[in-house]
Structure 1
Amino acid sequence: MQLAAIVVSLALTVAGLALLVRAVAQFVRYFRLGQAVRPGSRTARPYRRSVTLAREFLGHTRLNRWGIVGVAHWFVAIGFLTLPPTLVQAFGQLFRADWVLPVIGDWLPFEMYTEFIGVMTVLGIAVLMTIRLRSLPSRAGRKSRFAGSKSGQAYFVEYVILTIGLAIYVLRGLEGTVHHVEGYEAGYFASYPLVLVFKGLSAEVLLNLVYLTAMVKISVSFIWMITVSLNTNMGVAWHRFLAFPNIWFKRDAKGGTALGALLPMTSGGKPIDFTDPGDDDTFGVSQVEQFSWKGLLDFSTCTECGRCQSQCPAWNTGKPLSPKLLIMSLRDHAHAKAPYLLAGGGKTMEGEEKASEEQLAGVPAAALAEAERPLIGTLEENGVIDPDVLWSCTTCGACVEQCPVDIEHVDHIVDMRRYQVMIESAFPSEAGTMLKNLEKKGNPWGLAKKQRLEWLKELDFEVPVVGKEIEDLTEVEYLYWVGCAGALEDRAKKTTKAFAELLHIAGVKFAIMGGDEKCTGDSARRLGNEPLFQELGMENVMSLNAAFGEEMDDDGKVTEDSKKPKSAKKIVATCPHCLNTLGNEYPQLGGDYEVIHHTQLLQHLVDEGKLLPVTPVEGIITYHDPCYLGRHNKIYTPPREIIAAVPGVRNEEMHRHKERGFCCGAGGARMWMEERIGKRINNERVDEALSVNPDIVSTACPFCLVMLTDSVNGKKNDGKAKESIQVVDVAQLLLDSVSSMKAAAHP
């Protein structure tokens, strides 16, 4: 038995280590196929990144949102990283059954730690296996977060962990017996029952059990290593290694998610100058190798846990997009195509082959076939990603928010959209109307710019307009950025007027732009039309800088003498999409402003006593979190505090709220596209709202207001919603409660 154990264990060890070294080398070569990133964008602030990595791993900050799953996974992960000494000890036990590690082998704290973590690893993996079995796709269908995951690989990994954990536990019991533990000892507090069981065995049987169990532990460990080394696309196994660099190289060194601003378009790691692009510049992604190396790392890190899928509004309403399946498809395609690319293969912009026939002679046929697949294409075209998958995304960010290994799904989706829009002109036809309106009129509806100021006629007080009543914004505290929806869409205009009236009541000095401003470009950018976004953005930045009293040089840049600090350039917006673009994306274009949402300012005014909600608003209210206010900008509390300040209303949260809030369906330029597949996302959200039987559905975004109102009105017509239910912005709700102050404000 001892000889067999030694031979089998050492043979598997040599094979496993050799294949692991080869696999690591393959990963290095594979990741180098990706495009460069902007210098320093993934490596700046190394100490801060290391702290973030330690916090995310040790705190399991994402997984612990899922309750018992997070706790169970924490013990499994800690066991994997800290129990390798037991593997070393098992090697020693192959040659001498009573061998222990030098120095720490019989140290009581080490023994107790091994006992505790060993048992908790077994319990942890048992919990995770039970959860997986209870969530079988065959039972739950699309509702299972494991739908589409490679179950065989997952079960293999889980049973390996369970077997190794049990082997550690059994070896501890055998060690106690071999070392003649006569009574209960703290160092064997968990395995002592096994010590009692093994006590009656003969010495020969005991020794053979040690050799056998040590062989099982070592063999299973290296069979696992051999298997995963031969399958480098086995994310459920490799994530335990790749998650660490993926988190370390994340976009935000301080730990924030890859939400808010989109990354500027680059080619070869350098920003693209759309006024004079280079001949070799690549616009977006049309081949998997055009993703950055961080993108390729993202794909390989996916553990197929399905948390992104479970939160995705598209997947939950019967659409083909699953963020998990998207990443898995890109990963499998990239790994399958890698031999071709590593041999020098690839296509020019004209579709010509870069490598010679001699270079590609040794490439496997499967890799050559994979290289012929279009990245974006229908099933008939054998595409890797179906166009319907690409255009189903609302960029709500739920996938990015929930991913425990910091995969940046939205960035990758937008990169693929950019190529489709800018090079192929392949996108939903309705969105083309929106783009033309933005180009010609500066707003998605194609209305004349003079209509931006029409809402002012419905107010009974004057609102200063920059360039008319006031020369610049130095005379007021805030610029109120009304936005396209707030100025031009009838339902959103109610929010605009309510907010303006509340500012007037509170005595806040504010002004608006004169109508020459254009759409911030949010929808254009998320659709994939980066040049149009930059054109609109640059015009707005120049207008805003001039409005704030800054002077421009001949190149259109702010002169150093006139440049004002960010704190002196305050903007308030009622639209979260404008908030996000102005505050997070315009700094990329030279516009650095302090931008807040209207609910933040209103909450501040209520707290200061400048707005006093006194009139009761009776009924149950439920609040819908706009994605670009919540997940993208982490603003959850102000709207709820305003609602809490209004007497009479009782807030009932929907099942999905805050970080797990459900999209209205309008983000990612979906506001301008028809929803032809599955259930409408806004109907799904309103169904959830109606489940709490509210009198008022409230939100804080004009897009959400439109989408929710459309759905509620449709359900009223179908008799599925009571006629009295209202959909209002938080500002409208607050105005109803402070309306009794109007007489005092306007005697």
Structure 2
Amino acid sequence: MDQIQLRGLGLSLLVLVAVGFSISLYLHCGYLFNGPWRIAFFIYGVLTIAAFIIGIGRRLWIWTSGQTRNDIQTTTVAEALSRLFMIVAAQRRVIRNSWPGLFHAAMFWSGAILFTVYLLPSVGVTLATIPYPLLSALFLGISIGSLFLAGRLVLFSWPNRKLSFAHTLGRVVAPVLIAAVGIGHFFVMRSTVLSTGVLFLQYMCAMTVFALIPYSRLLHIITVPLWTLVRPDKRFTMSLPFDLSRETEIEISNNDLPLGPRRREEFSMRALLAFDACTQCGRCEEICPAHGTGDGFSPAKIMRQLQLANAPSAPSANLVAIAESEQVDCCTTCGRCEIACPVALEPLSAIHELRRTTAFEGRFESGHESALRRISEFGSIWDKTKSPAIYLQPPVPWLMEADGPPAELVYWVGCAGRHDPAGQRIAATIAGLLNRAGIRWTTAGAEELCTGDTARRMGDEGLFQKLALRNIALLRQARCKKLLVSCAHCFNTFANEYPAFGGDFEVVHHSELLLQLLQNGRLGHLAVLPTKITFHDPCYLGRYNGKYEPVRNLLDTIEGVERLEMHESREQSRCCGAGGARLWRDGEPGARMAAKRATQVSEAGADLLVTGCPFCLTMLEDPIARMGGRVQDISEFVASAVRT
């Protein structure tokens, strides 16, 4: 649907809502109040309905002003309805946060039922038919829940998150009014002389809450259900501002396509809706590994700034200023914020878009510009003059006769495997294991270029797409769809980002292949290795792709291994600090994050940390060594267990 159709549909729905509430309001007037009370009630009710409709109408105009071009993110009806039930109705992600989540859920469930009860007169059912114990339980639920959340906001969030007084006051008003509605019920039931006045005030508070929805934090009552319906089915996807596989650079330049959003309207419609769906709960900030490292970065603050820029009365926001002031280049793109969000928002998408904005303006973090230059000139992010490339010798040559049998798999060595000493060691180990298993494999050697993951995370979409198209064309020469990778970032790029440009491959992480080889007995007998081991889940392998079990199953097959779990593992694994191109920043790229992770390794009681990504190994090797521990890639540990 285009912009005009969406606006027409939205306005039609608002008219239906206005008619429905007006009918319900009129019927309530008929049996609740008499005389002046009835007139005042009806006038105030009409004003609140008008305020709600106008407010939502203005918001709708903003949401539908966004872009839909090249939106490759898909949403299916079945998945959308499932999310609507689990996220909104069941409050599944909300109640994960222990007591605050449970209080919010109690308030939501009670309020939703009461809202339904309020509409009953429209179908001929009066409130007198509702059992008093049920009504009392529902009003008690909204009273306790809202008072708890208001108290937590004042006593905890205000001082700990350093919120302004005005911002805190604005957020407290709504739960206090909701609590007044709930408490008013019990005064009405017990009072005889003042019952009409108390009932009138109770309804005034309820209608005020309704009118405040478009103008306050309560807006998420509308936006969160809408967001769950349009949210992409697949997490961590990225939009395509342009597509070099379908249009030329000249066409892109002539059409003045936004390489990154420069104005609010250049965000997608989904993004604009998502900004208003943010409840500013702060969970993303609490769990973010980059927050608190001294850079001033916070995903919650970024979402807040974009939310303010999304307001109907907001002037045209300077998105470059927002990106630079909120230090978007500090993000490691680990994805923990999206796991923590109670309404399944995507702060990473906003961060990626803002990085494209700064890249378009030529503003890069110190160290990033030189890294992009190396990728563009040499096809590798490493400085080849300081780290010369080493190439493997596969049993199957890359360019072989057309009538010859193709290789079983292509091993994509990656930039780290070619240039980084630790990566070279891993690549050589994997090559040895492949040869031992008798696999006919090949590699592109010097023809291999960087996958472009780092360039894309820095915001240079054009360079990423050029590399992607070049690599896809290169891999098609091999006549083999099976692609083996030993870098979590390469794995994610090939598996999730190259398909948009026609690069459909069977991507296998080396931990998966090694597990299969061990189970099939192709690596021979294994030695007993009595070792206490813990596994660090790389963000781009675990959270991004759900590959949690292969390495664990692999370790469990080796006799003598005592596998331990860190406090934060699997979906909650703490980032090493290298992702999102942070490794290539000048100065301290992510040492504080790596040190925190090393401490968790020590607390787990492990002698050896195993990982499945060369970036993670590079970041964690030194801090763990200082604590007396060791770090190995999973391939190195398997190789040490293989009997010669």
2:534 counterpart of 1:622: yes
Alignment-mate amino acid for residue 164 of structure 1 = V
Q: Distance in 2 between matches of 1:472 and 1:304?
A: 61
Q: Would you say 1:579 and 2:523 are equivalent positions? A: no
The amino acid across from 2:365 in the alignment is P
Which residue identity does 1:732 align to in structure 2?
A: E
Contact 2:578–2:590, Cα closer than 8 Å, also in 1:
no
Q: Does the 8 Å CA contact 2:455/2:461 hold for their aligned counterparts? A: yes
Distance 1:606 1:164 in 2: 64
Amino acid at match of 1:303: T
**What secondary structure does 1:629 align onto?**
coil
Could you tell me which residue of structure 1 aligns to residue 380 of structure 2? Answer: 443
The secondary structure found in structure 1 opposite 2:477 is helix
2:432 equivalent to 1:501:
yes
Contact residue 599 and residue 700 of structure 1 kept, 8 A: yes
**SS of equivalent residue, structure 1 residue 494:** helix
The answer to whether structure 1 residue 17 and structure 2 residue 49 are counterparts is yes
Percent of aligned pairs with the same amino acid: 26
Distance 2:392 2:544 in 1: 29
Query: What is the alpha-carbon distance in structure 2 between the residues aligned to residue 61 and residue 48 of structure 1?
Result: 15
Other-structure match for 1:540:
471
- Tell me the residue number matched to 1:518: 449
Report how far residue 634 of structure 1 moved. Answer: 1.4
CA contact (8 A) 2:212 2:218 kept: no
Find the counterpart in structure 2 of residue 349 from structure 1: none
The aligned residue for residue 708 of structure 1 is 620
Does the CA-based 8 Å contact 2:591-2:619 persist in structure 1? Answer: no
Can you list the C-alpha shifts for 1:390-411, whole angstroms capped at 9, x where unaligned? 2111111122222222322222
- Secondary structure of 1:314's counterpart equals coil
Cα distance in 2 between the residues matched to 1:327 and 1:113: 39
Residues 726, 289 of structure 1: alpha-carbon distance in 2 compared, 3 angstrom cutoff: same
Return the match for 1:390 from 328, 349, 356.
328
Q: Decide which of 161, 175, 181 is 1:158's aligned counterpart.
A: 175
Deviations 1:635-684 (A, max 9, x none): 11222222233333333322222222221111111121125599732223
- Count of residues paired in the alignment: 610
CA distance in 1, matches of 2:607, 2:484: 29
* 2:472 maps to amino acid: V
Aligned pairs (5 A) from 1:544-555: 544-548=475-479
1:604 pairs with 516, 536, 561, which one? 516
Partner of 1:651: 563
Distance across 2 between alignment mates of 1:323 and 1:300: 15
Q: 1:331 to 1:674 in 2, by over 3 A?
A: same
C-alpha displacement of 1:225:
2.9
Determine helix, strand or coil for the equivalent of 2:320.
Answer: coil
Q: Give CA deviations for 1:475-505 in whole Å, capped at 9, x if unaligned.
A: 3332221111122211122222333333333
Q: CA deviation at 1:45?
A: 3.3
Equivalent residue number for residue 240 of structure 1: 221
Q: What residue number does 2:77 align with?
A: 46
Instruction: After TM superposition, give the deviation of residue 528 of structure 1 in Å.
Output: 1.0
CA contact (8 A) 1:467 1:514 kept: no
**SS of aligned partner of 1:276:** helix
Match of 2:596 in 1: 684
Give the structure 1 partner of residue 319 of structure 2: 375
What residue is the counterpart of 2:204 in the other structure?
219
1:147-296 maps to which residues of 2 (within 5 A)? 150-168=167-185, 174=189, 198=190, 206=192, 208-229=193-214, 231=215, 234=216, 236-252=217-233, 256-257=234-235, 259=236, 261-266=237-242, 273-274=248-249, 276-277=251-252, 278-296=254-272
List structure 1 segments (4+ residues) > 6 angstroms apart after TM superposition: 146-149, 470-473
Give the match's secondary structure for 1:313: coil
Distance 1:276 1:115, change over 3 A: same
Q: Which amino acid aligns with 1:238?
A: L
C-alpha distance in structure 2 between counterparts of 1:515 and 1:472, whole Å: 24
Of stretches 531-540 and 56-65 in structure 1, the one that deviates more from structure 2 is: 56-65
Q: Is the 8 A contact 1:466 1:472 kept in 2?
A: no
Could you tell me how far 1:544 is from its partner in structure 2?
0.7
- C-alpha distance 312-105 of structure 1, shift in aligned 2 (>3 A): same
Residue type at the aligned position of 2:420: E
Tell me how far 1:578 sits from its aligned partner. Answer: 0.6
Report the alpha carbon displacement of residue 34 of structure 1 after superposing the two structures with TM.
2.2
Match of 1:188 in 2: none
The alpha carbon displacement at 1:105 in A equals: 4.8
Residue in structure 1 matching 2:355, options 417, 441, 456: 417
2:459 alignment partner in structure 1: 528
Residues 55 and 272 from structure 1, CA distance in 2 versus in 1: closer, same or farther, beyond 3 angstroms?
farther
- Tell me the secondary structure at the aligned position of residue 376 of structure 1: helix
1:727–1:75: structure 2 CA closer, same or farther, 3 Å change rule? same
Q: Confirm or deny that 1:734 pairs with 2:641.
A: no
Alignment of 1:33-182 (within 5 A): 33-38=65-70, 41=73, 45-87=76-118, 102-103=124-125, 105=127, 114-129=135-150, 131-132=152-153, 135-138=156-159, 140=160, 150-168=167-185, 174=189
Amino acid at match of 1:314: A
1:112, CA displacement in angstroms?
A: 6.5
- For the residues of structure 1 that align with 2:589 and 2:70, how far apart are their CA atoms? 38
Q: Which consecutive residues of structure 1, in runs of 5 or more, have no partner in the other structure?
A: 93-99, 175-197, 199-204, 340-366, 378-383, 457-461, 550-568, 743-747
Amino acid corresponding to residue 196 of structure 2 in structure 1: Y
Q: TM-score, normalised by structure 1?
A: 0.74
* SS of the residue 1:621 aligns to: strand
Alpha-carbon offset, residue 609 of structure 1: 4.3
Matches within 5 A, 1:486-497: 486-497=417-428
* Alpha-carbon distance between aligned partners in 2 of 1:532 and 1:427, rounded to the nearest angstrom: 15
Residue 109 of structure 2: SS of its match in structure 1? Answer: helix
Aligned AA (1:304): Q
What is the alpha-carbon distance in structure 1 between the residues aligned to residue 318 and residue 213 of structure 2? 28
Task: Report SS of the residue matched to 2:631.
Answer: strand
Give the AA of the match of 1:242: T
Asked if the contact 1:72/1:127 (under 8 Å) is kept, the reply is yes
Partner SS for 2:610: strand
Q: Indicate if the aligned counterparts of 2:578 and 2:619 stay in contact, CA closer than 8 A.
A: yes
Once residues 39 and 690 of structure 1 are traced to their aligned partners in structure 2, the CA distance between those partners, rounded to angstroms, is 44
Q: Is the 8 A contact 1:473 1:548 kept in 2?
A: no
Does the 8 Å CA contact 2:241/2:257 hold for their aligned counterparts?
A: no
Match for residue 398 of structure 2 among 466, 484, 487: 466
What are the Cα deviations for residues 332-354 of structure 1, in whole angstroms up to 9, with x where unaligned? 1232xx45xxxxxxxxxxxxxxx
- Note if contact 2:576-2:590 (Cα within 8 Å) is conserved in structure 1: no
Task: Give the CA deviation at 1:35.
Answer: 2.5
Aligned in 2, Cα 1:276/1:245: closer, same or farther, shift over 3 Å?
A: same
SS in 2 for 1:26: helix
**2:286 pairs with 1:310:** yes
Kindly report the root-mean-square deviation, in angstroms, between the aligned alpha carbons of the 2 structures.
3.3
Task: Tell me which of 379, 397, 407 is aligned to 1:476.
Answer: 407
Pairwise CA distance, 1:149: 10
Question: With structure 2 as the length reference, what TM-score do the two structures score?
Answer: 0.85
